[in-house]
């Protein structure tokens, strides 16, 4: 006759198997819902059904989901504690009990991972308008879901960056917003593969040496780029920079630059008077001794075929507004020599540039100056009426579209204070386009202080492609508050 312990063993095993099967089905359903919510592209059937359920009353549904998940977790924890306290002498039942505890541990971890995105959905519910399924921007006048933009990218780091970050306290922050709204350039959506490749990294690890890809994205309209959670690579043998009184007109140490994406591998190569250096704009501006040193201090024409130095000197320009020029911007292609010269007159200049074939930004910084890594696509990161002077050379040329030129000039006008100076230095264009460009500058209605144009005979030589150079210094009287200053 079979003993009672045998029936007990069979009953316990059936109960364990049944409960295990129930939890497995529950885990499968939760997994399907979770993955369809965060990794679907076009087919959103399950998440749409879940979102329609949320649209009834987001706060009430959020509380119900959290209570259900907490109740399941509490029951699993109690069951695990009960099993640990149970003692038995049967080895087979002991193995089943240990396997059952491991299974419950896995289910507990899964429930914890499911609860976090559910909390994210609930915490974002107050940002969405009543009656809409997806999160909408709080300042949007339509009900267009904001999540559709987030779901466009497959790389999770892009999604995490773009999602609305609600304030943890549930109140407006000191900036007057209920959350933080990250931004990326609209062209990032057109360069989806390149964007996802740029954002595909291990959090907390070193980033790839992909600054050139990042710059290519910025130049083509993916600007601003999203932030990343990886460490930027640095030169392997970085040395201390030169002291401020020595760094301005001395070449930096080659070890302080990553040369992997440049044709030249040293500053000596960049300073040579040769071709094939990887860039053509400002080809001689790394030659500090012969080319950069005389600029804006004395008129010296090293090469008769080009205007190597401007027609106006720094001292002459500052005399237009004695003691008024203190801070400004140099939006040019160069190595910061204009900022270096202006610093000699106690004027602080920020130099905006990008690394087009050479380490322009690193060179400016190693000279003890301030580089601003900025493309022409971006609005200037300065507040209205704050700068005393804006200088540009070798940048506003005949390649620029007239509409783009308008946007650039009006943005510069925005940041120039009333009475500030706009110094347009070495502007090149075809002779037939000169009048059109001059008309664009006249639309600003600035007072013209000085103007020099080269005679056409200078550019009639065969080796010059019919450009014409214009050097103008404008005074932004339009920004004064008196109507009679609008027209000089």
The predicted-structure confidence for 112-135, as pLDDT tens digits, reads as follows: 555 555 554 444 444 444 444 455
Q: Does residue 147 sit in the same domain as residue 271?
A: no
pLDDT at 111 over 80: no
pLDDT at 50 over 80: no
How large is the average pLDDT for residues 374-401? Answer: 89
How large is the average pLDDT for residues 81-93? Answer: 65
Q: Does residue 381 sit in the same domain as residue 264?
A: yes
What whole-number percentage of the chain has pLDDT above 70? 64
pLDDT value, residue 54: 41
pLDDT value, residue 149: 72
pLDDT at 473 over 70: no
Q: How high does pLDDT run on average in the chain? A: 75
Per residue in 174-196, pLDDT (tens digit) is 888 878 888 888 888 899 999 99
Q: Which 8-state DSSP code applies to residue 300?
A: -
The residue segments making up the domain with residue 144 are 139-220
Q: Which 8-state DSSP code applies to residue 231?
A: B
Neighbouring-strand partners of residue 331: 352
pLDDT at 307 over 50: no
Q: Does residue 189 sit in the same domain as residue 316?
A: no
| Beta strand extents in 362-479 (DSSP E only) | 370-373, 387-393, 416-430, 447-453, 467-475
Q: Does residue 173 sit in the same domain as residue 263?
A: no
What is the Cα–Cα distance from 416 to 177, expressed in whole angstroms? 29
pLDDT value, residue 146: 61
Residue 417 lies in a domain: yes
335 vs 399, higher pLDDT: 335
Examine the fold and report which residue of 167, 187, 220 is the final residue of a domain before the chain moves on: 220
pLDDT at 139 over 70: no
Please state, in angstroms and as integers, the Cα–Cα distance from residue 347 to each residue in 92, 328, 334, 400, following that order.
Answer: 85, 8, 18, 29
Q: Provide the whole-model pTM.
A: 0.65
Q: Does residue 248 sit in the same domain as residue 216?
A: no
How large is the average pLDDT for residues 432-438? Answer: 83
Q: Does residue 206 sit in the same domain as residue 285?
A: no
pLDDT value, residue 45: 39
pLDDT value, residue 92: 65
């Amino acid at each position: 006759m079979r003993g009672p312990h045998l029936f007990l063993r069979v009953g316990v095993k059936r109960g364990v198997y049944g409960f295990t099967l129930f939890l497995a089905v529950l885990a499968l359903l939760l997994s399907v819902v979770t993955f369809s919510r965060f990794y679907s592209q076009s087919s959103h059937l399950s998440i749409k059904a879940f979102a329609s359920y949320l649209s009834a009353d987001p706060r009430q549904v959020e509380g119900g989901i959290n209570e259900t998940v907490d109740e399941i977790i509490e029951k699993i924890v109690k069951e695990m504690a009960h099993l640990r306290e149970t003692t038995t002498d049967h080895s087979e039942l002991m193995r089943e009990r240990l396997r059952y505890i491991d299974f419950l541990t896995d289910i507990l971890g899964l429930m914890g991972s499911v609860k976090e995105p559910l909390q994210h959905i609930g915490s974002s519910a107050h940002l969405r308008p009543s009656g809409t399924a997806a999160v909408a921007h709080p300042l949007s006048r339509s009900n267009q879901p904001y999540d559709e933009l987030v779901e466009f990218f497959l790389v999770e780091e892009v999604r995490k960056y773009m999602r609305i970050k609600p304030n943890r306290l549930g109140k407006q922050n000191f900036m007057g917003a209920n959350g933080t709204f990250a931004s990326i350039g609209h062209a990032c959506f057109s360069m989806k593969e390149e964007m996802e490749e740029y954002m595909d990294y291990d959090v907390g690890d070193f980033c790839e040496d992909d600054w050139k890809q990042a710059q290519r994205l910025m130049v083509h309209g993916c600007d601003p780029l999203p932030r990343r959670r990886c460490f930027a690579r640095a030169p392997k043998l970085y040395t201390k920079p030169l002291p401020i009184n020595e760094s301005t007109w001395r070449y930096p140490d080659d070890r302080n630059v990553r040369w992997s994406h440049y044709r030249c591998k040293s500053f000596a190569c960049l300073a040579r008077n040769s071709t094939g250096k990887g860039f053509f704009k400002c080809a001689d501006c790394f030659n500090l001794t012969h080319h950069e040193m005389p600029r804006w201090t004395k008129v010296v024409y090293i090469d008769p075929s080009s205007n190597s130095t401007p027609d106006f000197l720094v001292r002459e320009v500052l005399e237009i507004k004695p003691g008024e020029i203190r801070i400004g911007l140099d939006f040019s292609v160069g190595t910061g020599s204009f900022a270096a010269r202006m610093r000699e007159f106690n004027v602080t200049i920020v130099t905006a540039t990008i690394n087009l074939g050479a380490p322009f930004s690193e060179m400016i910084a190693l000279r003890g100056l301030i580089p601003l890594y900025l493309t022409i696509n971006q609005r200037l990161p300065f507040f209205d009426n704050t700068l005393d002077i804006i200088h540009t050379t070798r940048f506003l040329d005949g390649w620029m579209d007239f509409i783009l030129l308008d946007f650039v000039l009006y943005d510069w006008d925005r940041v120039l204070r009333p009475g500030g100076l706009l110094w347009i230095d070495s502007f090149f264009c075809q002779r037939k386009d000169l009048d059109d460009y001059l008309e664009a500058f006249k639309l600003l209605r600035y007072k013209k202080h000085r103007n020099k144009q080269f005679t056409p005979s200078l550019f009639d030589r065969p080796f010059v492609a019919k450009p014409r150079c214009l050097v103008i210094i404008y005074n932004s009287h339009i920004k004064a508050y008196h109507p009679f200053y609008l027209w000089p």
